[in-house]
Amino acid sequence: MSRFGATIFGCEGRRLGAAEAAFFREAQPFGFILFGRNIGDAAQIRALCDALRNSVGREAPILIDQEGGRVQRLRAPLATDWSPPLDFVSAAGARAERALFLRYALTAAELRRLGIDTNCAPMLDVVSEGTHEFLRNRCYGDDPALVARLGRAVADGLLAGGVMPVVKHIPGHGRSRVDSHLDLPRVTVSRAELERDFAPFRALSDLGMGMTAHLVYEAYDPRPATVSAEMLRLIREDIGFDGLLMTDDISMQALAGSLSERSAAALAAGCDVVLHCNGALAEMAAVADAAGAMSPRAQARAEAALAVRPAAAMLDIPALTAELEALF
């Protein structure tokens, strides 16, 4: 097997243009990611997924952020409009683990019907005092052990529905006081205090795909985790995550330098894949040129993740829906 490009890309609109298709054929990104700009009706989404995969000549993974609440790209009538995860967990109370399993199994079924096979969840960031509002209600709670259990339920629900989970944001975004889409968060607490943030990621380190956090952890390194060899060693050796590790969106303003410089720095630090989301062709060309093909180790991780990609599942949707409604 030839090596994948060390990239995951978005596309500009609801249909794949000829220039985009030609670029993807050459760049061979590992996979693709969809956003609201790509979403029309069901037939259009399926056609776009087919076109993306045809452009690279293989069943490339197609990712989406379908957390529920504010961060879900698919809305009714294409998919269920879920409450924010933190609100959902609070409402479910002692039944939250089962409720999340059911919620994300149903979400997986909705994704698979449209040709999407990967969801950027579970989100294992632990709520702390001052967690920024862009993140807070996307979290599952403020207790690391509970977050780990609920994150496992999310991952298991996705897998049961035939969708690959992507654990994020490793090694923990919960102490962010600013929005990393716009600025660089800095975490100033001690290494000992950071252990609570790392704990859920250790508990789910067996998952096959993960996403980094664009944060500075000053107790370890003045550079953001995505471009820090020290933080990547922590993720691999201390947290124990040996799955395919992608950056968070490389175009977020938490990172400095050109897109080419950011991409090269992330891969040099130890990331396997650069994620670029906005679909701008000129930007993607610069990222692809900087990223090149996956390293042999990254390729092995990518192949391992794809080897356990679940098949589309035949779920009893009415029964799962009735069970979930009964829990509330």
Q: Please identify every residue annotated as catalytic.
A: 181, 248
DSSP string over 141-203: -S-HHHHHHHHHHHHHHHHHTT-EE-EEEET--TT--S-TTTS--EE-S-HHHHHHHHHHHHH
- CA–CA–CA angle 327, 63, 108 (5° rounding): 25
For 306, phi then psi, to 5°, come to -70, -30
**By C-alpha distance, which of 291, 320, 275 is closest to 31?**
275
Distance of alpha carbon 250 from alpha carbon 275, whole angstroms: 6
Dihedral through CA 87, CA 91, CA 97, CA 103, nearest 10? -70
Q: Which two tokens stand for residue 321?
A: 């829906």
**Segment (H or E) for 307:** helix 296-307
